[in-house]
Amino acid sequence: MFKSYKPTWMVDAIYQITPEQLESHGIKAILTDLDNTLIAWDNPNGTGELFDWLRVMDQAKIPVVVVSNNKASRVARALEKFELDYVARAMKPFSLGIRLAQEKLNLPNDQIVMVGDQLMTDIKGANAAGVRSILVKPIVPSDAWNTKINRFFEKKVMSQLLKKNPEMDWKRGI
């Protein structure tokens, strides 16, 4: 029952993912959630860390596409400074947005990975689309009201997952 929420990997922060790690798993592109994965939901300016990480990915020719459930105007505004391609209104935990991003990239399932901070949307969506996933810790511990509800269920799901999969653990890379 909880299998559909199981991430492939758990990494403290998206900035810890390197081109070398991705290459070692045959991954050629990153799909990522926006709020609390790439930027703090209440601080859309991003950090120096984010700029540095995006530059490293750009130099390694690894495209980064944002897949967000948020509306297009909000996502476009948040990404203005970053020049990233995106899919808005992605409808995670359904596979739609991930599929649309995959079409943009024209890559098979096993060459993309979905990164996100929520089991209930990002990871479930990745599993629905049949792509590998990386759960990251939310950038800030507080959430928008609608995410707070998900977090309540997420805690229960996570404890079940950890019980059934003792190998699951936070790492500093994939």
- The angle at the Cα of 90, spanning 41 to 20, to the nearest 5 degrees, equals 75
Q: Does 143 bind Mg ion (CB under 5 A)?
A: no
Q: Which of 36, 70, 95, 133 binds Mg ion (CB under 5 A)?
A: 36
Shortest reach from residue 106's CB to Mg ion, in Å: 26
Q: Which is nearer to Mg ion, 21 or 150 (CB)?
A: 150
Q: Which is nearer to Mg ion, 60 or 140 (CB)?
A: 140
Interface mask (CB under 5 A) for Mg ion, residues 103-142, using x and -?
--------------x-------------------------
Q: Does 95 bind Mg ion (CB under 5 A)?
A: no
Q: Does 154 bind Mg ion (CB under 5 A)?
A: no
Shortest reach from residue 110's CB to Mg ion, in Å: 24
Q: Does 33 bind Mg ion (CB under 5 A)?
A: yes
Place of tokens 């950090």: 47
Q: Does 35 bind Mg ion (CB under 5 A)?
A: yes
Q: What is the sign, positive or negative, of the torsion defined by CA atoms of 72, 17, 137, 164?
A: positive
Q: How many of the chain's residues bind Mg ion (CB under 5 A)?
A: 5
Strand locations in 6-144 (E): 9-11, 29-32, 64-67, 85-87, 112-116, 132-136
Q: What is the longest distance spanned by two Cα atoms in the chain?
A: 42
Site for Mg ion in 46-75 (CB under 5 A): none
Q: Which is nearer to Mg ion, 33 or 154 (CB)?
A: 33
Give the phi and the psi of residue 66 in degrees, each rounded to 5.
Answer: -85, 130
Shortest reach from residue 97's CB to Mg ion, in Å: 13
* Long-range own/partner contacts, residues 56-63 (CB < 8 A, 24 or more apart): 56/18, 56/19, 57/19, 57/30, 60/19, 62/19, 62/22, 62/28, 62/29, 62/30, 63/28, 63/29, 63/30, 63/105
Give the binding site for Mg ion (CB under 5 A): 33, 35-37, 117
